[in-house]
Amino acid sequence: MKITESLHFIHEDKAFLKRQFNITRSYLHNAYDGIREAIKWLKTSAFQTVVKDLSIYITDEPINFPGELALIEGVTFQPIVYINVMSITEDFQNEEYRYDLKKEHVTCFEYAVFVFLHEVGHYVHALIGGRGASRKEKIFDYFDRGEYHYQRFVETMGNGETNQEKKRYRNIPHEKAADRFARQYTANVLQNFHRKEG
C-alpha cells in the first residue's frame, strides 16, 4: 500500500479549527489516528494481499467529502482511497454515525475506521464480485453494475441532506455491502487496537 498524506490544518491551534471550521481538534486527531490504525490492521489482515496495490490518500481539506474509492487511469491503472479526516470529523460531530454505523454512541476514532473500511469494502467487493480477467476489468464491472442504483437515487433526491435521503442512500446495494464489510472489520480493528493498548 502506498500512503500519501496532504495535511494542512490538523496541527492548527484548537481555537483556529473551531473558529474557521467548527471542528474540535481532538476529534480531528482521533479521526486521523483511527485511519492510521485501520491501515496498520489491513497490512496484517486476511486482506493484505488484496490491498497491497491500493493507494491511500489522507487529507484534511475543508470539503464535505469523507471518503471515496477512485480510479486513476494513465500509464498504469491505480485504485486509490481518498479519505478526508476533516470531513469525517464534521460528520462525526453531526452524528452521521447513526445512519452509517447504526449506533447511538461511537468515538470519532471508531467512526473514522468505519468510513475508511467502507471505501476499502468497495474495493474488496469489486475484486471478489466484479467480472473480468484483470483487476481493472473487475473494478469497472463492479461500478457499472451499481450505476443504475446510484442513478435512481440521484434522480429522486432533493439535496441529499434529509434523514430519509440518507437512509435511502445507505440502502443502495453497493453501499449496504460496503457498510456490512466496514461494520464487521471495524470491530476487528478496535479489538486489535485495544489488545495493543491494554
Domain ranges of the chain: 2-197
Query: What's the Cα-to-Cα distance from 135 to each of 54, 76, 130, 174, rounded to whole Å?
Result: 11, 12, 9, 18
Q: What is the pLDDT of residue 34?
A: 96
Render pLDDT for 5-24 as a digit per residue (tens, 0 to 9): 999 999 999 999 999 999 99
Beta bridge partners of 2: 55
Average pLDDT of the chain, as a whole number: 87
Render pLDDT for 129-173 as a digit per residue (tens, 0 to 9): 878 888 888 888 888 877 777 677 777 777 666 667 767 776 777
Q: Which of 102-106, 153-157, 182-186, 189-193: highest mean pLDDT?
A: 182-186
Q: What is the pLDDT of residue 197?
A: 65
Residues 6+ apart with CB under 8 A from 149: 172, 173, 174
DSSP E strand stretches across the chain: 2-6, 55-59, 67-73, 77-84
Is residue 56 helix, strand or coil? Answer: strand
pTM: 0.89
User: What DSSP character marks residue 96?
Assistant: T
